[in-house]
A = this chain, B = another copy of it.
Amino acid sequence: MKNNNVRVVTDRIPLQHDGDGSDLFNYLHMAKPGDIIEAQQFSRQWQENELFPTAQKMETIVAKRGSMDLAGKKMITFFYEPSTRTRASFEIAMDMLGGRVIFSTENAADFSSLAKGEDIRDTILVLNRYRPDVIVLRSKTEGDAKRAAEISLAPIFNAGDGVGQHPTQAMLDVYTIKKKFGRIDGISIAMAGDLAKGRTVRSLAYLLGKYSDVTIHLVSPEELKMRDDIKDYLRRHNVFFYETNDLRQVAPFVDVIYQTRPQKERGTEAYPLISDSGYFAINPQIAGMMKQHSIIMHPLPRNEEIEREVDKDQRAVYLTDQIDSGLAVRMALLQMYLGK
């Protein structure tokens, strides 16, 4: 169905895939530069030279309440499972740049073609006939974003595909670190909580692997340790990593604690957040141990793994800078891919 002749190919987003990560993804089959499928697709150079500076410009646009740079551009947000926060961020990013959402659904699975047994390819082909400039896709099935991209003329932005990836979350996370420290090289980060099933820490690990001298402390209960595929990846990319079950051991010297939530909806059973067998939550005691210029991150939604008293801490960025970064990064991606 593809017609590469009519597609404007841009060289601004070089696909410097490093060959790691999802076996599903074969970049020989990658359709077009506009697609955002998985974190490892984006090189360090592109992040530093393109994404971060553009995101920074976007923040000044937000401060001015928006621009009309994408006037006339059209987004479809097509969500097979609900994700209010992600959908809001994408739709508001489009609105901030003067573009418009021409169709939006958050319950596609309830009644759409897939519910009736249709393949996602049919759906994507149909949506393409409506001439969107971008399709933001959220699905329940790993690999759907890639399947959609292979067949879509409009760029596909993966807004999460099941247990697969959520690449724009990882981008906003590294952008937040960059903003706070001026660099990502040499950073020391503790990832805490449900590392086995948390999609965000996995995607973030892929991106951090592209930088130098990064140290990762993996802080999780024994049964929720980071899986081997990521650890192998980190080894290949010379990322130092350590595993522990006590946040107190690492809090005093890391630059970042990236806290995650037990993934109950993916089968993780509740575990003691603070007990003799481990220390996996952030409370004022942990925050008090941290360096003055460290930060506390969380992809949200947050349950009890960060106590609410911590919110007021200047180092807590999960309800402020991270949200702003999400908007700025998604605006940047839209601007780079859809703008002139």
Contacts and interface: CB of A to CB of B under 8 A. Distances in A.
Interface of A: 1, 62, 65, 72, 74, 76, 81-85, 87-89, 91-92, 95, 100, 102-103, 105-108, 110-113, 116-119, 122, 125-127, 129-131, 261, 264-265, 300-303, 308, 311, 319-320, 323-324, 327
B112 A85 contact: yes
Closest 10 CB pairs of A and B: A82-B111, A113-B301, A118-B301, A84-B112, A129-B323, A116-B301, A117-B303, A88-B103, A125-B319, A92-B130
19 contacts: A74-B95, A82-B107, A84-B108, A85-B112, A85-B113, A85-B126, A87-B103, A89-B130, A92-B130, A106-B111, A107-B107, A113-B301, A116-B303, A117-B303, A118-B302, A122-B300, A122-B301, A129-B320, A130-B327
Contacts of A111: 81-84, 106
Given A84-B112, A85-B113, A126 B300 contact: yes
Contacts of A81: 111
Nearest to A112: B84
Given A84-B113, A105-B84, A107-B106, A126 B319 contact: yes
A5 B62 CA distance: 19
Given A65-B72, A92-B103, A95-B100, A82 B112 contact: yes
Nearest to A81: B111
Contact of A82 (B110, B122, B130): B110
A11 to B, nearest CB: 24
A311 B124 CA distance: 14
Contacts of A112: 82, 84-85, 301
